Amino acid sequence: MTASAPPSPHNEAQARAALARRALPLLDLTDLSDTATAAAVEDLCGKALASGVAAVCVWPDFVAESARSLRGSGVRVATVINFPEGADDIERAVSDTRATLADGADEIDLVLPYRALMRGEAESARAMIAAVRDACAGRLLKVILETGELDDAALIAQASRLSLEAGADFIKTSTGKTPVSATLPAAEIMLAALRAHGDRPAGLKVSGGLRRVEDAGAYLALADRIMGPDWVSPSTFRIGASALHAELVRALEAAP
C-alpha cells in the first residue's frame, strides 16, 4: 500500500487560515491580567476594531473606557463579576453587575459559586445566577463554571444544567486563573448539557489556555460533532483568549 503524501505547506497554510477566519469573529479578546492598564485596554480595543472580534472582555474598572472606544462598532463589551474567586455574596454580585451595566457593559461573565456547589449547596449557587440574571435586564449572561476545580464529570454536568436552568445565556469553562483551565472533556460535557437543554437556545464559551490556531480548531470540531456543523456562531460559541488573537492574525497573513 502506498502511503499518502503529507499535506503541502501551501495546503497547511490554507487550512490554518480557514480556521482563523472562522475563529476570529468568535473571539472575546481579553485582558484580565493583574497588570492591566488604561493604555493596554485602549490597545485591546484597537485590535478588536481592526479584526472584527465578537467582544472585548475587561475588568469592571475599564468598562466605561471600552464602551466609549467601541461605540457603534458592533464589538461588544464584556466584564467579569464575582471573579475569580466565585464567592457566595449574592448582594455584592448584583451590585457589581448593575454598576458595570451602567458603565456600558453589554455582557456579564459571572463566576458560579462553585465551591458552594461542591459542598452540596446547589440552591445558593442557583440563587446567585438567578439574581444576576434579573439584574442583567436582558443583557447577555455567561456563567463561568471553573471546570478545572470541579471534582468530576458529574459536577461539571450538574453545574451546566443548574446554570442553564437559572437563566445563563452561555456556560463558560474557566476564569483562566486556576492551574487547569479549558479542557476538551469538560467542553464535551457542557455541550451535551446544551444539547439536552430544550427550554431556549444557549451557548458555550471556552476560555483559558487556548493559544494556538489548532487549539481553536479542536474546540470547533468538537462543537460541530455534538451540535451540528451549522450551530457555531458568535451567538452560540465564544473563545475567551488574549494570545490566541495574534496567532489567528498571523495565520491569516501567512495564507497564500
Catalytic residues: 109, 172, 205
Residue 38 zone, left/alpha/beta (φ > 0; ψ -120 to 50; rest): alpha
β 170-172/203-207 pair status: parallel
**What is the residue whose three cell numbers read 476538551?**
184
Residue 122: CA atoms inside 13 Å, Cβ hemisphere, count? 12
How far is 212 from 228, CA to CA, in rounded Å?
23
Residue 124: CA atoms inside 13 Å, Cβ hemisphere, count? 15
For residue 93, give every residue at least 6 positions away whose Cβ sits within 8 Å of its Cβ, in sequence order, or none. 81, 82, 87, 110, 128, 131, 132
CA dihedral 138, 72, 174, 135 (to 10 degrees): -20
Rounded CA Rg of the chain = 18
How far is 194 from 145, CA to CA, in rounded Å?
14
Structural contact between residues 181 and 208, judged by C-beta atoms closer than 8 angstroms: yes
